[in-house]
Structure 1
Amino acid sequence: MKKLKMLTVMALACVVALTGCSSAKNAESGNNASPKESAAATNSEPVTPEKLTWFADASFWNPPAPWSTDPNTVEGVITQKTGLTFEFNIPAQDAGTKLNLMLATSQELPDLMTITDSQLHKKLVDSGKIWDLDEFMQKYNPSSPLLTSFPADVKKAIIRKYGAFAAIPSHINSEDLQKTYPPVSELVADAAKYSVNNNAIFNEKIMKEAGISIDDLKTEDGVLAAFEKVKNLKVDGAPVIPMQINGKVYQQATIPTLQEYFGAMSVDKDGNFRDIIFAPETKHVLKFMFKAAQGGYFDPGQMTMDDAAMAAAVKTGRVFCFIGNIANSGFRDEKLGPIWVNPGPIQSNQGTKPIAARASEPGSGWMQTSISKTAKHPERIAKWIDYMMSEEGKTLHFFGFEGKDYTVQNGLLVRTEQGIKNQNDRTKTGVDMFWQFFNGAWNDHVTPAPSAPLDVMATKAHTAAVKASTIYDSTPLGMPEGFFPPDSKEAKQEAEIRLYKEAQISKIILSKDEAAFNKNYEEMTNKIKDLGQLELDAKKNEQFHKQEQELGITVKGINS
C-alpha cells in the first residue's frame, strides 16, 4: 500500500533540481532539438557504452528492458550523455532477503541499488559497503553540483535518519527547494503544504439525492446519521455502500485518518511519549468503527479487500463515504467525474480538536539509490548522477522530447497527447519512469497548476482536512532508523505486539455489543502491557525528549 501511495504522490509532483538555481522557467533550453539531434550533441567523441547492474527492491518498478541505445529513446539519450547502459535486477519477491544474503555472505553487491525498505537501507549504510555521496563525488567528480547545490535541509534529515548521506533520495520537497523552485499557484502551494493521502471523502451525487449538506458531515454524529440515511438508497439498481474502509490495510489508513480527526496523538498532555493505542481518542475511533459495523454501514468483508477490489467498489459510484488512503481509492475516475468532496476533519462528539502531524524537518525520501563501493566505472556513475539531476536530464526522463512529448507554454512544460500516452506507457518509453530522481518542488515550478475538474477536486480532497486542523510539529517524535535493531529483544516485542493488535482491533470493532466492545478493548490494552509496550514506550520517550532538546522543539498533547 505504501508503494501505491507513493506512486500516486508521484503523479502530483516531479524531480529534484540539484544543479544550481537556474529557473525551470528556462526549460525551453532543455530538449528542444529533435531526439536524434539531442543525442548527437552528447560528446565530441563517441564512447563505448558500459553496462552496470541496477538492483531494486520495488517489484512494481518496471523500467524499459532491455536497455535501448537508440538515440530516439529516453534511455538512448541517457547512454549518449553518460556512457552507461543498465541491466536491471528487480526480484518479483523477497528482494530484501536476497540483498541481505549478499551482505551476509560477502557477495559482491550490484553496482547500483534502489531501496524502499528504510531498515534495509540503514543496514547497507552500516555495512560500510556503499559510498557516502560526498566522498564519492569528491573522489570522482569534485566539480559536481551535488556537493554544493543539494538542499541542505533534506541532507540534514537524511543524515539524522540514516547516519550518512549515502544515497540519492526520491520524492523529496523542502523549504530550501521551494526557495529555488517556488510553486506556480496558491493551489499548488497548498498541495505542497497540506496534502495528505489519508482522508474521508463523500460522494456528492448521493449527498444530493439524500438531501445531505457538507455541514452535516463535519461531525461524528452527523456522519453516522448520514450513513443511516443513505443505506437504503440504490445506484443503478444496486444498494449504496454507506462506508468503504481501506481494505486489508484499514488499520494503516482508515484508523490513522480517524485518529487525526478525533485528535489522538502519541504524546500526552505532560509531553511524554506513549503509544497512540493508549490515547483515549483512539478508543473513541474504535468506538466509531464499532458503531458503523453495528449499523451495517460497512461489510466486515471489506477488512480483507485488496486495493484493486476496494477501488473497483469505489468506481461503481455506489460508495457514499471512503475513509483511508484516497490515493489508492480509485476516486479519480474519469467515468464518475469530480463527484467527491472533503468537508474537512470529522469532529469527534467528545469535542476534541482535530490535529495534523507535520514535520518541520523535510522527509528523507522514499527510494534510496546508493552506489556500491565495488561498482564499476565510478567516473561514469558520477557523470550519470549529475546528468539525471540536471535541468536537461530531468526534463528528458520525466517529460521526454520537446515537440513530441511536451511543449513549452509561458515557460511551463505541458504534455502533448502523445506525451501523455508515452507517460502511461512508461515501462516501454521510459518517460516518467526514473522515479529515483523525483521531487515535488521542481515539478510544481515547471508544470501548470491543476485546472481540469478532476485535478482540482483531487487537490482539494487531499488538503481540506489538514487546512482545518490544529497542526503540530511532529519532528521529534520520529525515531531514528534502527532505533530498535532488527534482531533485538525490543524489535521482537514490537513485532509480536503489532501482530496481536492487528487481530484484536478487528475483534474490537466487530464486537457483538457495547459490553463486549469494552471487554475486548480492555483485554487488548492489558495484553500489550504484558507484552512490554510500556517498556518500549519508556525507551522511545527518552529518545523523544533527547530529540526535542537537539531540535529545540517541544511537543505536548493537544487533547488527552
Structure 2
Amino acid sequence: MKKVTVRFPGLLIKKERGMVMRRHVLQKMCALALAGTMVLSLGACGSAETGTAGTQAAQSEASGENAPADASASSEGTGELYWFSDVSGWGPATANWSTKESPATEYIEENFGLTLKIEQPPTDVTTKLGLMIASGELPDMMSITDADIYKQLVAADKVWDMKTFLETYDPESHLLKDFPEDIKQALTDTYGGWYSYPSHMESKDNRKVFPPDDQVWIDVVEKGSNSCIMFNKEIMDALGITQEDVQTEEGFYAACEKVKNSGYQVDGQSVLPVVLQCNLWINSSLDGIVSWNFGAVPVDENGNYRHMELSPGYKNGLKFLNTLVQKNYLDVNTLTIDETALKTYLDAKRVFCWIGNQAQQDKTNMPWVSFGPILASNGARPAMPVNQSAGTGWIQTLVSKDCKNPEKIAKLLSWASSQEGLLLNYYGIEGTDYTIDEKGIVTKTEEGKKKLAEEYDNNVLMWPFANTSFERNTEPVPDPTSNRGVEVALMPAFGNYKDTYIYDDSLLGFKNSTVIEPSSDLGIKLSQIKTYLESQKAKIVTAASDEAFEKEYQNMLDTLDQYEITAIDEEYNKVYQEYCEKKGNKIEDINAGLYK
C-alpha cells in the first residue's frame, strides 16, 4: 500500500508550547496511514462550480499569485471565520468559554490567521439558517445536525463538495487520501455526496486507523448505549437488595416497594425509588431502554416496518411505567423537571433506580451500577438497536461556496482532523497538560486536569472536530470511580446480557430522511402523529388505574388508525426493505410468538 504523508506546510510550531510532535507519535501516524485510512474529514461529491471562493482561486491562478506551498497561513494576516452551529453544548453557548484560554483556538489563530466568530442561536436555529439560505448570505462554515437543512444546502448548490474544495485549496491534505471509505459511502447514501466533515465518527475503517486500545472500548462500540437502567449500589447494600432481586420484573417491583417503605434517608432526605430522564423521559427513557427492555422492535411478525408504538412489547413498556406510577414508585412530578433539577436528586444519591441517559450527568465517585435488562414477566427477550454499519457521525460541518479565506479554512480542517490537531483539541498541550507513552496512550497531568476543571472548562474540545475512534485509541482504561469509568461499565451492560437481541440500527437510517413529503396529506398526518403521541404517551403512563390505562392505550391505537398510520408505515416499509436488501440484513420480531 502506498505510504501516505501528512503535511501542514508553513504552520508555526512553537517548541515552548510543546507543539513539536514526538518521534513515536510521528511513527504512529505513518503506521496508521499505512494501515489503510485515516479519519475525520471533509468530503467530495457534486458540483465544482465556484462562488466567491472559486472566483478568488481562479483570479489568483490567472495572476500567478498562488502562495508557495510552504507559506504560513498566518503570514497573510488574521481574518474572521464566521462559524454557525445548531448544537449548543460546546463553544460560546457553554460556561467559561474563551478562545484565549483554548489551546486549539489559540493555535488556529496563530497558525492559520483565523479568529473564530461562532454563532449558536438558542432558539429557532433551523428558521434562521433557512432564512440565510434564502437570502444567499451564509456563514463561512456551518456545523449542523438537521438533515433537511443539509439537503437544502446541497440542493441549492451553496456548499462545497469537499474533494473539490480540498483539491483546490489544500491539495496536499491527508483528507484526500485517508478519509474512511465506509463513512464516505454512508454520507453519499444519505446526502448524495461527500459534502461534510462529520464529528464523532465510529466505523470499521475508522478503527483500522485508530484501533481500540482495550476490550472495554470494543464492548462499548458493539453492545453499548447511553440509555441504561441504573441502580444506586449504596442503597442496595444498605437495604440488603441484591442483583438477583432487581433482574426480574416482579423482583424489581418488590425492591421498589422495599425502598418506598424503608424510611431510608440520605442526609435527612427521603429516597425516590425510580426516576426517568426528567422532562426528556419519552425519548430518553420510554422510547429507549424501557421499550427495548420489553422487546419492542420496529417491524411486525412478517418483517415489515411499523411504528414501534404498535409493537406489543412497547405496550408492555408503557404498562411497566404505569405500574411504577400507580404504586407510587415513580413520582409524576419528576417527569416535568429539567436536567438541572434531575442532577440535584442524582448528585445527592437520593435515587434508587435511574432509567435514562447516563451521558447527561457527571458520575464521578457515584455508586451507579447496571445489571442489564429487567427480565419481563411474560418471558419476552430484550431487544436493542446498535449501529452495525458505518454511520454519518453526528455534527456535519459544511463549507459555504461563498466563504472568505477558503485556503485557510481548508488547511484548518486538514489540521483539525490530523493526529496533531486531535491531540491538541482533546488534551491540550503535550508535556504540560498531558503525556503520551510509546503505545500512544495519553495520561493527563495534574496541571492538565486542573486546567480542564478551571480555565479550560468547555474550551478544549470543539465537538465538530471530535473523533470517537481516536478517543478510544488514545484514552487509557479509565479509573472505575471516574465519570468515564462508571460510564463504560454502564453502557454495555444491557447488550452484554446473553439473551439480548441486538439488531442493526443503520437499517432504520432512512428515518432521518424525508420519506414522505411533508406537505402531502400523509406528510401532514405524520406531523400530527408526532405531536399527538407525545401527549398521549404521558396520558397512558400516568393513568390512575388499569382500566384507565387500557382505555388510553386503545384511544392511541384508534387515533393512529384515523391518522392512517398503516399507510404511513407502508411508505416507510418500501424504503426499509430497500435498506435491508442493500445491506443484506434485516430486523426480526423475536417476540412475535408470545402474542399470537
Secondary structure at the aligned position of 1:313 is classed as helix
Aligned pair in 2 of structure 1 residues 107, 514: CA closer, same or farther (>3 Å)?
same
Separation in 2, partners of 1:44, 1:118: 33
Which SS does the other structure have where 2:142 is aligned?
A: strand
State the AA in 2 paired with 1:349: S
Moved more, 371-380 or 476-485: 476-485
Q: Give runs of aligned pairs for residues 398-417 of structure 1, distance below 5 A.
A: 398-410=426-438, 411-417=440-446
Return the offset for 1:67: 5.1
Partner of 1:202: 231
Alignment of 1:37-52 (within 5 A): 43=72, 46-52=75-81
2:506 maps to: 475
- How far did residue 38 of structure 1 move? 5.8
Of residues 417-426 and 319-328 in structure 1, the stretch that sits farther from structure 2 once superposed is 417-426
Distance 1:405 1:313 in 2: 33
Matched, 1:94 2:124: yes
1:242 aligns with 2:273: yes
- Output the CA distance in 2 between the equivalents of 1:47 and 1:141: 16
Shift of 1:179: 1.5
Asked if 1:171 corresponds to 2:200, the answer is: yes
| Compared CA separation, residues 525 and 208, structure 1 to 2 (3 A) | same
Deviation at 1:42, TM superposition (A): 8.9
- Structure 1, unpaired ranges of 5+: 1-18, 23-29
Q: Cα distance 1:342–1:175, how it changes in 2: closer, same or farther (>3 A)?
A: same
CA distance in 2, matches of 1:66, 1:293: 45
Does structure 1 conserve the Cα–Cα contact (< 8 Å) formed by 2:82 and 2:139? yes
How far is 1:265 from its partner?
0.2
Q: How far is 1:354 from its partner?
A: 0.8
* Percent identity between the two aligned chains: 32
User: 1-side partners of 2:455 and 2:337: how far apart?
Assistant: 28
Give TM-score scaled by structure 1 length.
Answer: 0.88
Describe the superposition over 1:219-258 as per-residue Cα deviations: whole angstroms up to 9, x where unpaired: 1111111111110232233222110111111110111211
Give the 5 Å matches for 1:141-152. 141-152=170-181
Give the letter for the 2:314 counterpart. Answer: T
> Given the superposition, is the C-alpha separation of residues 59 and 402 from structure 1 closer, same or farther in structure 2, using an over 3 Å criterion?
same
| Residue 346 in structure 1 maps to residue 346 in structure 2 | no
SS at match of 2:82: strand
Question: In the alignment, residue 221 of structure 2 is paired with which amino acid?
Answer: A
**Residue in structure 2 matched with residue 444 of structure 1 by the alignment:** 472
Q: Write the deviation string for residues 477-501 of structure 1: whole angstroms up to 9, x where unpaired.
A: 2215222344444333222112211
- Name the CA distance, whole Å, in 2 between partners of 1:299 and 1:130: 49
CA contact (8 A) 2:224 2:386 kept: no
**Residue 59 (structure 1) aligned with residue 88 (structure 2):** yes
- Map 1:502-521 to 2 at 5 A: 502-521=534-553
Task: Report if the CA contact (8 A) 1:243-1:320 is conserved.
Answer: yes
| Contact 1:450–1:456, Cα closer than 8 Å, also in 2 | yes
- Give the aligned residue type for 2:391: G
Give the structure 1 partner of residue 293 of structure 2.
261
Aligned to 2:316: 284
Aligned equivalents of 1:53 and 1:372: distance in 2?
10
Q: Distance in 2 between matches of 1:136 and 1:206?
A: 57
SS in 2 for 1:87: strand
| 1:380 shift after superposition | 1.8
Deviates more, 1:59-68 or 1:259-268: 59-68
State the AA in 2 paired with 1:501.
L
Cα deviation code 1:45-69 (max 9, x no counterpart)? 933122221111223332587755x
C-alpha deviations, 1:76-117, integer Å up to 9, x for none? 32233323222222223222211111112x332111111122
List gaps (5 residues or longer) in structure 2. 7-11, 22-69
CA RMSD across the alignment: 2.5
Higher relative contact order (CA 8 A, sep 6+): 1
Q: Distance in 1 between matches of 2:589 and 2:175?
A: 40
Is the CA contact (8 Å cut-off) linking 2:72 and 2:112 kept in structure 1?
no
Compared CA separation, residues 450 and 532, structure 1 to 2 (3 A):
same
Aligned residues: 526
Partners of 1:487 and 1:508 lie apart in 2 by 30
SS at match of 1:478: helix
Say if 1:427 and 1:114 are closer, same or farther in 2 by CA, change over 3 A. Answer: farther
Q: 2:565 aligns with which of 518, 530, 533?
A: 533
